[in-house]
Structure 1
Amino acid sequence: MPPRPTRTRRSGIRIVGRALTCAVFALAGLLFYISAQTARGTDLRTDNSLLSLGDVIRQRSSQNQQAQAQLADLQAQAQELAGQQSHNPDDTARMDALRAGTALEPLQGGGLTVTLNDAPPNATARIPGFPEPGVNDLVIHQQDIQAVVNALWRGGAEGVQVMDQRLISTSAVRCVGNTLLLQGRVYSPPYVVRAVGRTDALREAVNTDPTIRNYLQYVQVYGLGWKVQESTDLTLPGYSGTTDLRSAGGQQ
């Protein structure tokens, strides 16, 4: 039987474990900072004469590639340090809470899927007394998508996904022209937003949001797309931070 560890050896093990724990949380803090820089967005309806769509995409893609490279390196370091942790239950619980907070792990459960879409290009007013639509009346705007995302968070969502990307706490959506720019990728409608959480609370939050109520008037009058589906088994991917540029218009 091997000799029992001395007091000095046990003390050394505890010190090393604490040091590794501090290092992991420090890296996680840097990860949040980099994520915030990556996801920084601006308000809807910016002056398109200032920046062309191509300029915006190239600028954001370059920034995204640099930030995501740093993110990937920090994640790798955090995982390496986590693997060196002792099996102390308190350390394990803190690490689990940290991973959940950064949305790095896949999430599964019941929830809602909300789909928004542009109106047909030849749409006219469906209800007497309303004016004929202009171009801006027939397309999805940034505030429409953001209103859905914000309502789902307020409704207690455990996680939210827009198109094929999991959102983190600092994620922001931005529309350029009639396309969505999200974390370095460009998307066209229909826009699909998924959330895992209590379906009754999520639906209540969506139904009572004033911006969504205004959007639903345009759905009735001009035919903008709107669909809300409940599910008992949704799976959201973990936040990956990849920089592939692709269009995703359908459901997974």
Structure 2
Amino acid sequence: MARTTKSLWRFGVPAVCLLAGLLLAATHNVSGGDEIRRSDAPRLVDLVREAQQSVDRLTAERDDLVSTLDTHHGGSPGADAALAAITDRSARLAVEAGLEPMRGPGLVVTLNDAQRDAEGRFPRDASPDDLVVHQQDIDAVLNALWSAGAEGIQMQDQRIIGTSAPRCVGNTLLLNGRTYSPPYVISAIGDASAMQAALASAPLVTLYRQYVIRFGLGYSEEPRTQVDLAGHSGPVRMKYAKPAGPVGY
């Protein structure tokens, strides 16, 4: 028994010393010869503080650049006055161009495809083209309203501006990239009596009204004391248009 104990000590002590040496060597390599728990070791709070300082520095640089840009384009009474004049003119043109909402008295015109009778039938002598609202019918109404001095026009939920072009696609309507089905509601702000007179004298509107009587197409005019028009929210791209005359500020 004594011999066995002595043998364990004889081989165990060197093994323990060897493991301790390996552990010390690994610790030295990890720490690079420095204390592992030294007080100047990076901490998360320090990293956050450095990041915040970097953000503050970049924000200050941005503010300096904005100030430089403002000074370059303005900063003087003459430049400020010119900028104010441009801004005012832009605001006025936005209203005239249909980019701002409008409210006022006007007229609402509704056009609709023909509906079946009580027995579910259309007139026997009608062709498919006789039973639907066409692009020419919508254009005729829009042109009559503009000719009567309409201040603004909206079709469905979109404002009609200089670049708007309603297009027929089958039995639906394409307007500014969006498709609509009848009934087509056209709202206009202006003198309702003048607009109704213009509609009554427009040849293509008169022709459409004849189809209303003969084939059952839908048509109505409703003067209103208040009509709300949305402002045009899409991009305004004028590729070929040019000013008709000199433009001043």
| TM-fit CA distance, 1:16 | 3.8
| TM-fit CA distance, 1:17 | 3.1
For 1:119 and 1:98, the matched residues in 2 are separated by 40
1:136 paired with 2:136, answer no
| TM-fit CA distance, 1:170 | 2.3
1:110 paired with 2:120, answer no
Q: How does 1:200-211 map to 2 (within 5 A)?
A: 200-211=193-204
Deviations 1:100-151 (A, max 9, x none): 12211111111110000000253216xxxxxx01000000100011111111
Q: Which runs of 5+ in 1 are unaligned?
A: 1-9, 25-81, 83-91, 126-131, 243-252
Q: How does 1:13-32 map to 2 (within 5 A)?
A: 13-18=77-82, 20=83
Q: Determine the structure 1 residue equivalent to 2:168.
A: 175
Q: Secondary structure at the match of 1:103?
A: coil
Higher Rg of the two aligned structures: 2
For 1:11 and 1:227, the matched residues in 2 are separated by 57
Q: Alignment partner for residue 152 of structure 2, among 134, 159, 173?
A: 159
Moved over 6 A (4+): none
Amino acid in structure 2 at the alignment position of 1:198: D
The RMSD of aligned alpha carbons is 2.0
Q: How does 1:60-99 map to 2 (within 5 A)?
A: 82=87, 92=88, 94-99=89-94
1:198 paired with 2:197, answer no
For 1:199 and 1:230, the matched residues in 2 are separated by 6
TM-score (norm: length of structure 1):
0.59
Amino acid in structure 2 at the alignment position of 1:124: P
| TM-fit CA distance, 1:21 | 5.6
Count of paired positions? 158
